[in-house]
Structures are given as C-alpha cells and as structure tokens.
Chains A and B, each alone.
Chain A
Amino acid sequence: KQEVTQIPAALSVPEGENLVLNCSFTDSAIYNLQWFRQDPGKGLTSLLLIQSSQREQTSGRLNASLDKSSGRSTLYIAASQPGDSATYLCAVPSGAQKLVFGQGTRLTINP
C-alpha cells in the first residue's frame, strides 16, 4: 500500500529565503509525482507534474526533483515571497484512478 509523508507539517521562514519542502513515498514504482498548492478554504492548484523518467521539473521559482530509488521528492522555492504562504501537498498515483496524498506542509513566509 502506497503511503506518502511530508515533513515538516509546518514551516515558517523570512521573506527572500530559498527553501525546500520534502515528500517521501513508500513504493518506488511510481509513474509520476504531482505537487499542489492549497490556500486556506480553497481548492488545489497544480504546480508541477514530474514524470518517473524525469529527475527535475521547473516552473518559474519552483523546482521539483524526483529520486525514485530513494522514494523522495523535493520542491525547491527560490526567493520566497509572502504570497507563497499556503499548504503544499504532494501526490502519487496508486493505480490508474487514485491519487495518494501526503498530509501537506503549511508554509508561512514572514515579511
């Protein structure tokens, strides 16, 4: 059974810092991994989808890496801004029609 873990559950950093969010999964036979952002009371916004054949995927100030053999992915946020404050979730497919989510990391960027 695939399990996804995100540590830490919460992170608070000053504005301008570069930071890394972590995601680990128990079954390394994944097809892809997706990172989402969720603002309070809102739905999920897809940030990056990284395929199993890729090691990195970039979008603006965001960079996601994937190491299947170790069961880990990281989301790197460069030059953080207060607008980056949100909960970040990672998810991997478990079968064709189900995503398994981590519990999320609640990120606060302090001005």
Chain B
Amino acid sequence: DGGITQSPKYLFRKEGQNVTLSCEQNLNHDAMYWYRQDPGQGLRLIYYSQIVNDFQKGDIAEGYSVSREKKESFPLTVTSAQKNPTAFYLCASSSDSFMNTEAFFGQGTRLTVV
C-alpha cells in the first residue's frame, strides 16, 4: 500500500534531549512537509522540502532541524532549543506544489516532554 509512515507513534523526551521523528513515504512524491498541531492553534508548518538535499523553513522552524538525503525520507529532529515541544507532529507529502496537487498525511507522532 502506498502511503506515509511516521514513527514512533508516541515519543517521550526529557528536558535537554534531542529526539528524531521519522517520516517515510513510498508515493514517489518530490515534496515533503512537517506540521505541528496544537489544540486551539491548528496546524502550523515547520519545514518543507521540494527536492532531495534541499529544504526550507516554515513558519515555526526555531528549535527544529531536518534533512532530506533520500527522496523517501524526511526526518525531523526536535532539539533542546525548542522550548515547548509537546505537540502532535504530522508529516505530509505531495507530488507537486500544493497549487496543483493533493496533500497526503501520515498518522502522526505525539511527542511529550517528561
């Protein structure tokens, strides 16, 4: 089945720790995205990548980092610089820009600071 796989489903982070969220897609899509979802704030764009080895900051990139070494994979690292990381993280992909094509989302990773 084609789709987007995010792992793990739940992740717990201690203060000062970096953690990495995985996102893999087998849709052969060029573009991949990371969104953060908080209650009452909707979805906000963290980073996006239109092609391998290239990525751009979104609206709330501070405290996050990404890499795009393979077309299928777009991992997100939540660094210790992110002061309020507890949220639901969603990875998405599209074959072209959002102006032309549909966006597909993964099942999400819930990150909690302990």
Contact = CB atoms under 8 A, between A and B. Distances in A.
Interface residues of B, number: 28
B105 A97 contact: no
Contact of B99 (A32, A41, A102, A104): A32
A102 B105 CA distance: 16
Contact of B33 (A36, A41, A97, A104): A97
B48 interface: yes
Interface of B: 4, 6, 31, 33, 40, 42-43, 45, 48, 50, 56, 58-59, 90, 92, 97-108, 110
Interface string A93-111: 1011111011110000000
A93 B98 contact: yes
A34 B42 contact: no
Contacts of A45: 105
A99 B103 contact: yes
A11 interface: no
Nearest to A102: B42
Interface of A: 31-32, 34, 36, 41-46, 49, 89, 91, 93, 95-99, 101-104
Nearest to B39: A103
Contact of A46 (B40, B43, B102, B108): B102
A97 B102 contact: no
A101 B43 contact: yes
B47 to A, nearest CB: 10
Contacts of B90: 43-44
B42 A96 contact: no
8 contacts: A41-B110, A43-B4, A44-B92, A89-B43, A97-B48, A97-B97, A98-B59, A99-B98
A93 B100 CA distance: 9
A49 B102 CA distance: 6
A96 B98 contact: yes
A89 B106 CA distance: 15
Q: What are the 3 closest A-B residue pairs judged by CB atoms, nearest first? A: A96-B97, A93-B98, A44-B105
